[in-house]
Structure 1
Amino acid sequence: MRIGYARVSTSDQSTEAQVSALRTAGCERVFVETASGAKADRRVLAEALEFLRPEDVLVVLKLDRVARSLSHLIEIMSLLKAKGIGFQSLTEEISTTTPGGKLLFHLMAAISEFERDLIRERTMHGLKAARAKGRVGGRPRRMTDDKIDAVRSLLENGTPVKDAAAAVGVSVPTVYRYLPGSAR
């Protein structure tokens, strides 16, 4: 069975052209959704993916109607492949039901993986260079060494943990995190 999926981003747009093209392509059922492509949670897409059975084909007018990014498209394709479901994009003329379509999709997936690896490599290189310059990423510590010493001194003089925490401007759990042996 050929199942269509049509999506527009806003209610101002019309799905008529997409639905017509999907019906012409032989789709027996068409799922229609109005949702931004950037949204990770698209209820109707999830419904369509759940509806599909082995040997069915999910048909879309364009790739950008089904996925918000290439990595999202690959994720959807992996799900479809695992379920034994084909995929076809009418505009890009990609169909995983043909050997040539499978090849084209795998080439796209390989390029996407290569791109992700390059981004990861550049990020790691940048982090390493920043560390070499003495910069460390992440959120700044709430408890500096001076504050730790001040709290330790207050606690040794009998100040309650709550008051010692307030004196240096941190919460009680923060004091316990930095000074785990503190008396409660």
Structure 2
Amino acid sequence: MQMLGSFAEFERAVVRERTQAGLSAARALGRRGGRQPKFTPEQRVEIIAMLQAGRSIADVSRLFRVHRATISRIAAAHRTATTQDVP
């Protein structure tokens, strides 16, 4: 039983090493991990413009077929970015 445990630990270490090597190689090629963004930068600009023009978050979310929270996060990120830019 102890031999089996040793082999399992060794195999796990090898898998981990290969995974780390693969992630490092991907980063070297310019790839990033994580989920792809829902909206392109152009769509984000359009969403902010609609909100500034007076459209409600609910209207914009229906138009883009996403949850209201998604639009709210984009608006909050924009507000944070604009307040940090102002000296």
TM interval, shorter chain, is: 0.7 to 0.9
Query: Partners in 1 of 2:47 and 2:32 — Cα distance?
Result: 25
> CA 1:131–1:154 in 2, change beyond 3 Å: closer, same or farther?
same
Query: Partners in 2 of 1:119 and 1:158 — Cα distance?
Result: 53
1:140 equivalent to 2:55? Answer: no
Give me the CA root mean square deviation. 2.1
For normalisation by structure 1, the TM-score amounts to: 0.38
How many residues in Structure 1 have an aligned counterpart in Structure 2?
Answer: 78
1:178 equivalent to 2:77? Answer: no
Q: Which runs of 5+ in 2 are unaligned?
A: 79-87
Identity of aligned residues (%): 33
Q: Which has the higher helix share?
A: 2
Q: 3-state SS of the aligned residue for 1:151?
A: helix
Structure 1 residue 157: Cα displacement = 0.8
Q: 124, 135, 160: which one pairs with 2:20?
A: 124
Q: Which has the higher strand share?
A: 1
The equivalent residue for 1:158 is 54
Of structures 1 and 2, the one with the larger relative CO (CA 8 A, separation 6+) is 2
Q: Which runs of 5+ in 1 are unaligned?
A: 1-104
